[in-house]
Amino acid sequence: MIRRMVVKVGTSSLTDGSDRLCQKKIASIAKLVSHVHSRSCQIILVSSGAVAAGIGALGWRRGSLSIPEKQAAAAVGQALLMQAYRQALDPYAIIPAQLLLTRSDLEDRPRFVHVRNTLETLLRHGVIPVVNENDTVAVDEIRVGDNDTLASRVALATSADLLVLLTDIDGLYTADPRIDPNATRMPRVQGFPDSLWQLAGGSGTVGGTGGMVTKLKAAQIALQSGIACVIASSSEPDILARVQEGADVGTMFVPNGKKPSEKRAWLLSRSRVDGALVIDQGAVAALLGASGSLLLPGIVSVQGVFEEGAIVDIVDEKARSIGRGSVNFSAHDLNLLLIRRSAGETNRVTEVIHRNELAVLSYESEE
């Protein structure tokens, strides 16, 4: 049974086709949410719509706005969006709470833990968190980028059972159903085959920032974290309850293998790393076979400049990804240890990444 669900709602599911919030659509979302909430399912909403609402309220034109103007529109729109959700959820005696996040909140470990604890507290008290990117301050360096990706990161933070991406199309199709009449919906996808990327197109609406590509990226992050994902239509009657019941609606992405620990899932979900460690084939085999720590003898070279505790990629000598982890040494110190090793010196401190700070990806050798 699905006990915790992260639901992402796109701009097109909240607005009237222009830059105006549609209270009727928001009331419909509130009804969907209240139904599963009443069945002991905890809900976290990741909601778009703030920028659009602000633009509409201010009477501005989307295509001619500067970055500061978009951020100002977001500041206006966030208040309107939360007011609309409060009004829509009030008949069901549900209290909404607002969380505005940036990528830094999710990729800095202490801040991630604080976000997780806040969400857990809200859910424990029956509150529905409404999460959005903090567009009033976010710039490229700290942006998550789109709310599909944000939703997948929130699903990871809350150890959700399911990520639901509500949109204006009822799932992933074999082709674009708006163009190809022979396109058919894919009801279930096991794992994440690379062929899926060929089925994704661009953004479907003017107001939104995502399309099927961003939804597939979000699904991939969720699956990597051991969380199932559904892409479905927000206009489908009682869609969340039907998803909770396991009905054949939308497209369900099912993860392969067992769910990784929260720490390992967090490591793999980070969008940026500080450097990389190149390891030899013996170290590759050791990491994949025993889930042990990464030791100094297996390291071939160090890439980038980073400090102790940084998150780095681990790659083989052909640049294929092995995993990711938090290093015990800075890049300077690691290079110094490699120089000493090549000179025949030994060092008792050889654990570069402890197994508890390491996440290993699936890997296929070409040899």
State the pLDDT at residue 127.
97
Domain boundaries, the chain: 4-260, 273-360
State the pLDDT at residue 312.
95
| CB contact at 8 A, 163 and 218 | yes
State the pLDDT at residue 140.
53
What is the CATH T-level fold of the domain 4-260, as seen in this structure? Carbamate kinase (3.40.1160)
Q: Give yes or no on whether 4-260 and 273-360 have one common fold.
A: no
State the pLDDT at residue 291.
66
Bridging pattern class, strands 42-47 and 96-101: unpaired
| CB contact at 8 A, 87 and 244 | no
Q: List per-block mean pLDDT (blocks of 10 residues) for the chain, which spans 367 residues.
A: 92 83 93 93 94 90 84 92 96 96 88 94 96 75 74 93 91 84 91 80 43 88 92 91 93 86 83 90 87 88 94 93 92 94 74 90 52
State the pLDDT at residue 25.
92
CATH fourth-level superfamily of 273-360: PUA domain (2.30.130.10)
Whole-angstrom Cα distance, residue 21 to residue 56? 8
Whole-angstrom Cα distance, residue 2 to residue 261? 19
Helix (H) or strand (E) holding 8: strand 4-9
Whole-angstrom Cα distance, residue 240 to residue 257? 25
Comparing C-alpha atoms, which of 122, 172, 162 is closest to residue 242? 162
Q: Is the dihedral of CA 235, 251, 242, 88 positive or negative?
A: negative
Name the β-bridge partners of 64.
none
pLDDT tens digits, one per residue of 57-74: 998 888 788 888 988 999
